[in-house]
Structures are given as structure tokens and as C-alpha cells.
Amino acid sequence: MRVLGTTEVWRYVTRRRVEQSGLDRFGNVGGWSRRWSQRITTEGGGLRFCSETAQGRCTLAARSFKDGLLRHGGRSPVGIDVVRLHPGEGRYSDHFPGTTPTFRYVRHQPTFFPGSHMKKIILAGAFALALSFDACASSYQLQNEAAASEEVLDAISAPIRTRAQLDAYLAVTPNSPIHRLGEAKMKTFLASLMFSPRGLGSYSSVELEGMHSSEVYSILALFGLQTTTRAVRTRRATTEDDNRVERRLRRSLPPTRGGAACLVHKGGSSHVCERLEGAVCSYLCRTH
């Protein structure tokens, strides 16, 4: 029996479903732009795309693989807020009347880590999704992580989420991918990093320009932001590792929020995005 991972789920959807529904050259799916950081989740047995900019609201993309067609626009769009990783928020719904589509917005369960309720929900979602496969895919079984998007998995498996963790990592890893930047660039790159309670909120891509794709990827992977490698416009792809990275990036979402730094002030005074050339504000720039 073949096990289908998250990457393969995405590939499957892209090949079998999204393209049939019309994916234009800008990555727009039926008028809903991929630029807005959609995430895949399988809450309720259906396949949903979640918008990061919509604070993790999910619109129902496909009720199941059998349905095939992408549907978006608020058909009972209840889903996991997959981009909210911060635990302990409880659960509540928020309803905005008069908007199109109408959302219901559900925050995370208290925790999102192995052994938690969230894991059970993801498992249930994965199980429901597996059941809904058509004959073509019925032999596939999803792993737990298949229920969440690649980005979310990247984020939750990120080894570094705080400045203290970064300092500790650099102290014991003298050959880290970050050290490949060289002393001067490393210094400015590290100075540019802005951490939010969720992880790395923003970073400067200027120092990463001209590096190999695989090098950029491995640096950003430390923070769970490897899919934002595309924000580095001039990447070199000369090795097989680079090509692998580029292949993955083709499936990832185009970067947004360029030119802004994530300023999360201590004490909860005022959190703002400030103009900063070459900075990339990530989906982890959140305070809750």
C-alpha cells in the first residue's frame, strides 16, 4: 500500500483537479487568487483552501475528491484555522454578515502538537479524506501530516521560533546554513529578523540574493519559511538539489507582503508592519 504525503496530495490536487478547473498563468483558481496563501486542510472530509490573509478562514474548495470541482465562495465554509499555530486561544466563531462570501471563522483548538486534540482532528480529517477518495485513489492512505498544508507543517516543525532559540542554535552549530552567508551578510541578515509570538515574522531577503536555491531553502527551513524562498528573486539553480527545490517552489504560493517588516512590540502597545526594503513579511507575523 502506498502512503500519500502532503506533497503528493498537493500534486494530486494540482494535476487532477485544479488544472481541470482552470488554473491561469497567474495561479488564479476560478477567480480566487493563489497569491493569497491558500492552505489545504481536510476538516470535515472535504478539501479546503484557507486564506492566510483572511486570518485563516477556509473556503470550501472541494467537498471531496469525488466532487472534483473546486468550489469556493462560502458553501458552509467551516474549517480549521490552519495558519494559527499559537496554542491556548480557545475556540470561537465570528460571523460577518453582508460579506461575500460569508465566513465562519474558527480558531485553533488549544494545542496543535502531537498528542493533542488537534492531532486527533487532523487524523479524523485525514481518515475522512481517505474515505472520500474515488476508485483511482482509493488505495492511498494519508499520513497524519497530509491533513495540513505544507506550510503549516513547515512551521510546526521549524527548529527555531524565537531569538533565544536562534542564538542557542548558532552557538552550537558553527557550520549552519546561515554561516554560508559569510560574516558581513550573516550579520545584517540576523539583524533583520523579527520574531512574533508565532515564529519568524519577517526577514530580509537582500542578503540571500544570488545564493543557490538549496542554500536559501535550507536557511529559511530553520524558521519553517522555506516556501517563501520564491521571495528571493535571483536564485541560482545549478545542482540537482537546487532543481529539487525549484520543483517544490513551483507548487508553493507566490510571495506576498514584500517590503514590510513585522514589528511586534513588547507589552502589546501597537503592532504594525513598517516599510522596509527587501523585507519579507511572513504568515507567522501574527500576535495571536
Partner 1 sequence: MKNRPDSRTCRSGALWVLSFLAFYASPVLSGVRHSGDVLWAEVSSIRLSAITPKEKSLALKRLYKRSLAEWIASLELQQEADLRMLFRMLKTSSFFAQAGDYDARSLYLHGMRDVLKELRRRNIAAESEVQAYYEALITARDFVASAELRQAYPKDDFYDYRHFEVTTAPGPGHPMGYVEHDGGLSLVEPTTPAKGAYVVVVIGCHFAEDAASKVLRDAELAGMFNKSNVTWLISGAELDREVLTEWNRRFPMFPAMIAFDNAAWKGVDFTASPTFNVFRDGKVVESISGLDSAENVERLRRILASHDEEAEK
Q: What residue ranges bind partner 1 (CB under 8 A)?
A: 33, 35-36, 51, 53-55, 94, 96, 98-100, 184, 188, 191-192, 204, 206, 233-234, 256-257, 259-260, 263, 265, 268-278, 281, 285-287
Rounded to whole angstroms, how far apart are CA atoms 49 and 35? 12
Closest to partner 1 by CB, 219 or 261: 261
Minimum CB–partner distance for residue 36 and partner 1 (Å): 6
Non-local CB neighbours of 27 within 8 Å, separated by 6+ positions: 33, 34, 35, 253, 254
Grid cell 472534483 is found at 68
Closest to partner 1 by CB, 2 or 275: 275
Structure-block grid coordinates of residue 95: 460571523
Closest to partner 1 by CB, 88 or 268: 268
Closest to partner 1 by CB, 174 or 268: 268
Which ranges constitute the DSSP H helices of 28-177? 117-132, 150-156, 163-172
Minimum CB–partner distance for residue 278 and partner 1 (Å): 7
Minimum CB–partner distance for residue 280 and partner 1 (Å): 12
Minimum CB–partner distance for residue 35 and partner 1 (Å): 5
Minimum CB–partner distance for residue 18 and partner 1 (Å): 18
Closest to partner 1 by CB, 142 or 200: 200
- Candidates 150, 220, 148, 152; CA nearest to 180 is 220
Minimum CB–partner distance for residue 223 and partner 1 (Å): 17
Closest to partner 1 by CB, 14 or 55: 55
Rounded to whole angstroms, how far apart are CA atoms 58 and 50? 4
- Candidates 99, 96, 120, 140; CA nearest to 43 is 120
**CA dist 20 → 11, 15, 48, 66 (Å):** 13, 8, 17, 14
Q: What is the residue-wise DSSP string for 53-84?
A: TTTTEEEEEES-TTT-S---S-SS-----TT-
Q: Is 268 left (phi over 0), alpha (psi -120 to 50) or beta?
A: left
